[in-house]
Amino acid sequence: MLEDLYGDAEISAHLTPEAEVAAMVQVEIALARVEARLGVIPSEAAEVIAEALAAVRIAPKDMVGPTAAAGVAVPGLVAMLREAAGAHGGYVHWGATSQDIVDTGWVLRLCEVLAILAGRLDAVIASLADQAEAHAGTVMAGRTRSQIATPVTLGLRIAGWLAPLVRCRDRLAELKPRLLVVQFGGASGNLSALQGRGVEVMAGLADELALGCPEKPWHTERDGLVELANWLAMVTSLLGRMGGDLIILGRSEIAEVRAGRGGGSSTMPQKSNPVGAEALVVLARQVSGLAATLHQVLLSQEERDGTTWPLEWLTLPGMLEGTGAALRHAEVLAGSLNPAPEAMARTMALGGGAIHAEALAFELAQHMPLPEAQALIKQAVAQGGDLVAGVRRLCAERALDTGDLDLSAQTATDAALIARIVATARSVPD
């Protein structure tokens, strides 16, 4: 029932047992083709295998038993594929090991899923860049440590959501060549059964599948996947940060920005719950937790580690789908940001406009040392009432001519800062 909130149909289509089997079969077909091309197995075997395997239909439920028996799906799968390939079945999976098929099958599906995620990330980036510009002049209270601080613009707040996502776009470009590489190592990772032809086959398989080719098989080197997990957790957390800000801005007492469609209550007709923003925070925590669990696969031991490897199968789907859902919610929220300038003005007027205390101090500092100016402002704050009026009064008492106390400069730099990050956001990455 939670699938529209925390799941993602487009991404989960690549994570079903059916998709998993299909990817593994694709690897076995490619392997046979490459080995035939290199003369490692007979050409006619590869042709038969390719045709038979492309036609085979495997019900995931038939693989539950064999998978439980072996702890991995491949032995059962290979038995079925060999049977399908008939007399040439012996050339199916030639020189490979279970891990080669499982891992390369995952990499193939990661290519698809990362393309979806990258597209959505680009859309969120584009939307936030537009919004940052659009609201570059919308002044609101900046809040530090939950207290009203000095004025900022909504555009700059949005730019702050945008900036780390732009960096995550770069990070994705950097990690992909390390991650999207073929896995082909044979039983213990040294291509033992290929009698000296292993590197050729590995490179050929990479070509055939349009994947990168690593220096060596990476059986227990799981850093590429952990780097991906860190990226997923980072992206989702950064979206969760936007969600958290939107929850605060949408609180009943604040109501400065609305975004998305509010959720109803079973008993309170006035409620408009921030369902999408909450989902972003929930997904941030879920994906981060899964990433922390996955992190343990870095300690995989020896040539294959059955105590760590399956953690990938148990955590990656949730991370990929969760990140996809978060990007989907974020796109909706980013596209529907709806500020309420009067509410922003009301907040800024709280406490007699004490939000201008810093600016007033720097104005006065043209006439006295800053610490003295700050002390004077502090005195005015303590007296309560309108701060500008209070400051004028105190200055008058001291016979200080302070001019017109210009407060407009406080957000004078926002537009420039926004423009800098928006330009980077819109530049085409290499």
Site for a second copy in 281-310 (CB under 8 A): 281-282, 284-286, 288-293, 295-296, 298-308, 310
- As measured in angstroms, the least distance from the Cβ of 408 to a second copy is 9
User: Binding to a second copy by residue 134, rule CB under 8 A?
Assistant: no
User: Binding to a second copy by residue 260, rule CB under 8 A?
Assistant: no
Distance between CA atoms of residues 41 and 201, nearest Å: 11
> What are the tokens at 306?
């059955």
User: Binding to a second copy by residue 371, rule CB under 8 A?
Assistant: yes
> Contacting a second copy (CB under 8 A), which of 30, 84, 209, 279?
279
User: Binding to a second copy by residue 428, rule CB under 8 A?
Assistant: no
Distance between CA atoms of residues 312 and 310, nearest Å: 5
Q: Could you tell me which stretch among 120-128, 204-212, 332-340, 344-352 binds a second copy (CB under 8 A)?
A: 344-352
User: Binding to a second copy by residue 115, rule CB under 8 A?
Assistant: no
- 37-96 residues in contact with a second copy (CB under 8 A) are 60, 63-65, 67-75, 78, 82, 87, 89-91, 93-96
- 190-249 residues in contact with a second copy (CB under 8 A) are 190-196, 198-199, 214-221, 223-224, 226-227, 230, 233-234, 237-238, 240-241, 243-245, 247-248
In a 3-state reduction of DSSP, which class is residue 144?
strand
- As measured in angstroms, the least distance from the Cβ of 355 to a second copy is 8
> Contacting a second copy (CB under 8 A), which of 22, 37, 207, 313?
313
Q: Fill in the DSSP letter of residue 248.
A: H
Pairing status of strand 257-258 against strand 338-339? antiparallel
Residue in the structure block whose two tokens are 């959501």: 161
User: Binding to a second copy by residue 399, rule CB under 8 A?
Assistant: no
Angstrom CA distances, 425 to 120, 126, 161, stand at 14, 7, 12
User: Binding to a second copy by residue 26, rule CB under 8 A?
Assistant: no
User: Binding to a second copy by residue 317, rule CB under 8 A?
Assistant: no
| 2/55 with CB nearer a second copy | 2
> Contacting a second copy (CB under 8 A), which of 148, 332, 340, 388?
148
User: Binding to a second copy by residue 377, rule CB under 8 A?
Assistant: yes
User: Binding to a second copy by residue 378, rule CB under 8 A?
Assistant: yes
User: Binding to a second copy by residue 12, rule CB under 8 A?
Assistant: no
Distance between CA atoms of residues 59 and 70, nearest Å: 18
| 178/392 with CB nearer a second copy | 178
Distance between CA atoms of residues 174 and 176, nearest Å: 6
- 164-183 residues in contact with a second copy (CB under 8 A) are 164, 167-168, 170-171, 174, 178
Long-range contacts of 59-65 (CB under 8 A, 24+ apart): 60/16, 60/17, 60/18, 60/21, 63/17, 63/21
In a 3-state reduction of DSSP, which class is residue 339?
strand
User: Binding to a second copy by residue 336, rule CB under 8 A?
Assistant: no
H or E, element range at 22: helix 17-37
User: Binding to a second copy by residue 20, rule CB under 8 A?
Assistant: yes
Residues touching a second copy, count (CB under 8 A): 180
Residues 6+ apart with CB under 8 A from 378: none
User: Binding to a second copy by residue 261, rule CB under 8 A?
Assistant: yes
| 30/418 with CB nearer a second copy | 418
| 17/335 with CB nearer a second copy | 17
Distance of alpha carbon 139 from its chain centroid, rounded?
A: 29
Phi, psi (deg, nearest 5) at residue 398: -95, 10
> What are the tokens at 412?
């004078």
Which of 97, 88, 93, 90 has its CA nearest to residue 25? 93
Phi, psi (deg, nearest 5) at residue 212: -70, 165
